[in-house]
Chain A
């Protein structure tokens, strides 16, 4: 069974970087696409970007200057880094399998940006 699990700090200070890990079991990240989606307070959801089976990436233009998605195939993990965060980045962050449609999701990690 495919399982995804996010991990990372729940509190980040403004202007710092947010770094999250998604650990995948039951499926190799060298197959398929792997994405990050976030849900803001108030329920708006935003697709952030993905990394492909080959390591290529695609990002939401609204985040393009601040976001990086990378991977470690030896650990079957992929990562999200979001730089220069503000309080507007407070959200629940999900990792998911898929590049266009998302069929398996992690349980989500709530990240608060606050000093």
Chain B
């Protein structure tokens, strides 16, 4: 199975700061999905097909990557962006998730 490794595990960012979260796959995947999960709520699809924003996602978010390396970037951190972000691959069964990056406000 494809193992997804997210880094960092936890990070804190100041309002207005640029944030980059990374997801590395143990084998090449064609695209990556990202979910945002806030405490006590269910995950929300955030980015699909590597770089497409899900409905309602602010355009300060972007996704990029190819092969085994993918990233989610926030151009300017806002308070509401505090959450845990998970990557997920749908290239090879079984679908797998990364361990998550917890993003906090500094």
Q: Taking beta carbons and an 8 Å cutoff, which residues of A are in contact with B?
A: 43-47, 58, 60-62, 94, 100-103, 105-108
Contact = CB atoms under 8 A, between A and B. Distances in A.
B44 interface: yes
Contacts of A45: 43, 86, 88, 97, 100
Contact of B95 (A47, A105, A107, A108): A47
15 contacts: A44-B97, A45-B86, A46-B97, A47-B95, A58-B93, A61-B94, A62-B94, A94-B42, A100-B95, A101-B45, A101-B48, A103-B45, A103-B54, A105-B44, A108-B42
B33 interface: yes
A39 to B, nearest CB: 8
Contacts, number: 44
A101 B33 contact: yes
Contact of B42 (A43, A100, A105): A105
A60 B99 CA distance: 18
Interface in B74-106: 84, 86, 88, 90, 93-97, 99-100
Interface of B: 33, 35, 41-45, 48, 54, 84, 86, 88, 90, 93-97, 99-100
Contacts of B88: 45, 47, 101
Contacts of A100: 90, 95
Contacts of A62: 94
A58 B88 CA distance: 17
B94 A43 contact: no
A106 B41 CA distance: 9
B96 A47 contact: yes
